[in-house]
């Protein structure tokens, strides 16, 4: 039913952002076929969340017949997701020049950390390295302390998986006009840089100190945009940036705004933060929720991701789903007419070998020969 129904995506097995993009496309109705490596443990599965809704095809691409089989699938696919370092697909014999010759309408989507070109393109790296050269890592953490890795959300997922999915959708949209495919070069360093756009704007208006962590309005420097410990050791998050919301926060907590001083003067923030610290420690997280949650005070409890699915707002929105015993985020965004649906949980390696090949026109005899030759896992 999803908006991507009718599109076929081949996803070369990888980890992190590339499978995330494939998961999003599968959620939106695309037929996503994860092309996986042979394994000695065929009862195993891919990563249990990002593999949802995808079909699993195991191919030995180190063999000539395995490569020919993949190329025959590429001829009929809409998208190929390449999660490897630059040049790996070319060495395998499935580079974009060949693939686009076989299938001129193909969107060849490449996901790397440093990009397809440049002095770092062949270097190994992970999320923390990619966000380090964009300013995102430097900006995250407390003043006087070392930068804090924001999980692998900024580089891998926001700057990688989201960017790749966006690029694929844009290329497919453009293909409707031109009838031609193209290569999408999605790099996590580029995506992380994109995510920093607002702070470049602030700095251009002398509204951000890029040299110091916890010195600005959105990095924990301001007392009205920070987290505070409660009496039970749990935390709450306050984000009352606008003055009208700040006024509501102060009133609801029983503070005297006139005694706090000018809230917009950074020189006053440390003293004000101490007032808020002393205030929030007097009640438990749940007690503060009873007072503030649901108001315009811009307040929320800080939950871990195991607690998050049990929050009433997430339950009402069905923000999380349970697929075959695995609690996980529901598909997003939401569509009014063509809703996204998770078809099934992650399949075992090679579970869809026969079905996929038959859908692509392989006869039962041809599939049997591939099995006999050890091409299929």
Q: Are 137 and 147 in contact (CB under 8 A)?
A: yes
* Separation between Cα atoms, residue 345 and residue 54, nearest integer Å: 8
In the set 156, 185, 219, 352, the catalytic residue is 156
Beta strand pairing call for 31-36 and 55-58:
parallel
In the chain, alpha helices (H) = 17-27, 64-74, 88-92, 96-102, 127-132, 162-178, 188-195, 197-204, 243-253, 257-260, 269-280, 285-292, 312-317, 353-359, 364-372
**Cα 115 versus chain centre, distance:** 17
Please tell me which residue in 126, 138, 296, 311 is annotated as part of the active site: 126
Based on the residue annotation, tell me whether 256 is a catalytic residue of this protein: no
Distances (CA, A) of 37 to 31, 42, 255, 295: 19, 10, 61, 51
- Asked about 156 being catalytic, the answer comes back as yes
Annotated catalytic sites, by residue? Answer: 126, 156
């Amino acid at each position: 039913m999803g908006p991507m129904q009718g599109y076929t995506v081949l996803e070369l097995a990888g980890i992190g952002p590339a499978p995330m993009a494939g998961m999003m496309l599968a959620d939106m109705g695309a037929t996503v076929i994860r092309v996986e490596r042979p394994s000695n443990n065929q009862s195993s599965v891919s990563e249990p969340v990002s593999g949802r809704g995808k079909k699993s095809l195991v191919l030995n691409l180190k063999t000539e017949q395995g490569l020919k089989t993949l190329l025959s699938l590429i001829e009929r696919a809409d998208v190929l997701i390449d999660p490897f370092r630059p040049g790996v697909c070319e060495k395998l014999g499935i580079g974009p020049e060949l693939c686009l010759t076989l299938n001129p309408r193909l969107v060849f989507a490449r996901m790397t950390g440093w990009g397809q070109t440049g002095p770092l393109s062949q270097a190994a790296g992970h999320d923390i390295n990619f966000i380090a050269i964009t300013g995102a890592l430097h900006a995250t953490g407390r003043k006087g302390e070392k930068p804090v890795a924001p999980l692998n959300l900024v580089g891998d997922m926001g700057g990688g998986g989201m960017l790749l999915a966006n690029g694929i959708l844009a290329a497919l949209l453009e293909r409707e006009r031109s009838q031609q495919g193209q290569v999408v070069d999605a790099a996590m360093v580029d995506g992380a840089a994109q995510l920093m756009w607002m702070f470049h704007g602030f700095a251009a208006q002398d509204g951000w100190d890029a040299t110091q962590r916890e010195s600005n309005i959105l990095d924990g420097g301001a007392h009205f945009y920070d987290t505070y410990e409660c009496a039970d050791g749990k935390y709450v998050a306050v984000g009352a940036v606008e003055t009208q919301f700040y006024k509501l926060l102060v009133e609801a907590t029983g503070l005297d705004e006139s005694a706090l001083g000018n809230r917009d003067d950074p020189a006053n923030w440390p003293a004000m933060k101490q007032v808020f610290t002393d205030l929030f420690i007097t009640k438990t997280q749940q007690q503060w929720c009873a007072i503030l949650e649901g108001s315009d005070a811009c307040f929320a409890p800080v939950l871990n991701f195991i607690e998050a699915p049990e929050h009433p707002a997430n339950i009402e929105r069905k923000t999380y789903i349970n697929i075959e015993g695995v609690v996980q985020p529901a598909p997003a965004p939401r569509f009014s007419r063509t809703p996204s649906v998770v078809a099934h949980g992650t399949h075992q390696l090679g579970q869809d070998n026969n079905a996929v090949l038959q859908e692509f026109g392989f006869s039962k005899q041809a599939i049997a020969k591939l099995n006999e030759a050890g091409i299929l896992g």
